[in-house]
Structure 1
Amino acid sequence: MIFRPEFFFLGRTEGHGVVRDPLGRVARRCRVETVGDYSQTRSAIEFEEVFTYDDGEVDVWRWAMTQGSNGVYVAAEAVAGAGITGWRDDEDYVLSFRRAMGPAKGLLAPSYRTRFTMVSPGVALKTAQVSLLGVPMGTMTATHHRVVD
């Protein structure tokens, strides 16, 4: 099963995740929800990804993504900015980017490497590795389940 973000994130997904520190210990848990639609004017899928953590923090990521050629995607996120490249790695979809977190901006912003893998029809596994200046800071593993309305 090939993960295709341009189809998977149309409509709604719901899921849960766990964040681990660099030593592999559970740091916190979250609920993950997305709502996406195709924008005719931008020729891109646009979706909002909301992480609601067990400590009360809510983190909202706003994405726009379009498929290019040869399995390459071009994406933008409201905080991370434009020019994010995603690509197909066998059946998976991978993207790598920097995103500001608190005072850590620019070259000091954490780096993210995120991989989506289909585990069954309508269910994807997301693994996001976060590093700062090449040093691992943590990992998030989450599921996204497509919601059929």
Structure 2
Amino acid sequence: MNAKNLTRSVRCLTLAAATALLAACAGPQVDDYARETPKLVLREYFNGPMTAHGVFTDRSGKVARRFTVRMVGRWSGNEGVLEEDFFYSDGKTERRVWRLTDLGDGRYTGRADDVLGEAQGRAAGNALRWQYTLKLPVDGKVYEVQFDDWMYLMDDKVMLNKAVMSKFGIRLGEVTLAFHKP
């Protein structure tokens, strides 16, 4: 590689790194919600039975899938289990069991059988940002897709959730959920 090509490569890498850094800083941060109330404490909200209703919208914004989730959360100290049973409008069902850990200071981790590695979450005020990679089966293949979840506690019974699903940084669609506790 000659000096001219090396210089061009370094400039491209620098531009790509700067663009990535700016993109990471451009979006909301969980601390932006630190003064919002009511305060979201996962051990309190995800404890006991609850139901969620949601939709998956594709890149164009079209609703591609509707679903209901019945959940039960249980905590023992800083360790929690959240059992989720999904019922889709096309008749398919799915189950996910999260094993959650409250690390303190608004930080959480989670594991589930269809999650690659460990989910990371951070809460401040009424908001939680939850990020993970899901192993998503589609037509006999399994794709690893990234989820960037934002949850907002509205009151002691209702929480809203908006998640962006992406692959290689390309937005595939969004999941919107409304959680409700009895």
Q: Name the TM-score class by shorter chain.
A: 0.7 to 0.9
- The higher radius of gyration belongs to 2
TM-score by length of 1: 0.87
Name structure 2 gaps, 5 residues minimum. Answer: 1-37
Asked if the contact 1:4/1:93 (under 8 Å) is kept, the reply is no
> Structure 2: how far apart are the matches of 1:71 and 1:120?
18
Asked if the contact 1:49/1:60 (under 8 Å) is kept, the reply is yes
> Structure 2: how far apart are the matches of 1:111 and 1:77?
14
* Identity %, equivalent residues: 24
Deviations 1:95-142 (A, max 9, x none): 11101112335xxx0001111111222110111111111111111111
Q: CA deviation at 1:80?
A: 0.6
Equivalent residue number for residue 75 of structure 1 = 110
Asked if the contact 2:131/2:149 (under 8 Å) is kept, the reply is yes
More strand by share: 1
Matching of residue 30 in structure 1 with residue 67 in structure 2: yes
Asked if the contact 1:10/1:38 (under 8 Å) is kept, the reply is yes
Matching of residue 104 in structure 1 with residue 142 in structure 2: yes
Q: CA deviation at 1:85?
A: 1.2
Matching of residue 118 in structure 1 with residue 153 in structure 2: yes
Matching of residue 53 in structure 1 with residue 91 in structure 2: no
Helix, strand or coil at the partner of 1:56 = coil
Asked if the contact 1:3/1:116 (under 8 Å) is kept, the reply is no
> Structure 1: how far apart are the matches of 2:104 and 2:116?
21
Asked if the contact 2:131/2:146 (under 8 Å) is kept, the reply is yes
Per the alignment, do residues 15 and 57 of structure 1 end up closer, same or farther by CA in structure 2, a change over 3 Å counting? Answer: same
Q: Which has the higher relative contact order, 1 or 2, with Cα contacts under 8 A spaced 6 or more apart?
A: 1
Asked if the contact 1:6/1:66 (under 8 Å) is kept, the reply is no
Question: How many residues are paired up?
Answer: 142
More helix by share: 2
Q: CA deviation at 1:64?
A: 1.0
Asked if the contact 2:114/2:136 (under 8 Å) is kept, the reply is no
